[in-house]
Structure 1
């Protein structure tokens, strides 16, 4: 997710602020990885959560 400012990148936010500071889409984006173009991982994560429900129901 190099297209996002460093302060908005989920992995960097996780390291800086801890897991409690991340939204569900940010957590899923970390799991999906960063092989998608600029910010698309967050969009994909958000779409997946809308389709399958919140993170707490995924495991």
Structure 2
């Protein structure tokens, strides 16, 4: 849910120029499903915008 207080932050986020999608890499030498580790996968070229604003939340 987006509340009124979130609108300026959301507008800023959607106005940003998106980065190119990252490439997904998987170690193809692994042939046993249970042998995969977290190092068997990678996102190459991933970029993210910094978020300077604090997003208010209700607790």
TM-score, normalised with respect to structure 2: 0.23
> Could you tell me the TM-score, scaled by structure 1's length?
0.23
User: Which has more strand, going by share of residues?
Assistant: 2
Structure with max Cα Rg: 2
Which of the two has greater helix per residue?
1
Higher RCO (C-alpha under 8 Å, 6+ residues apart)? 2
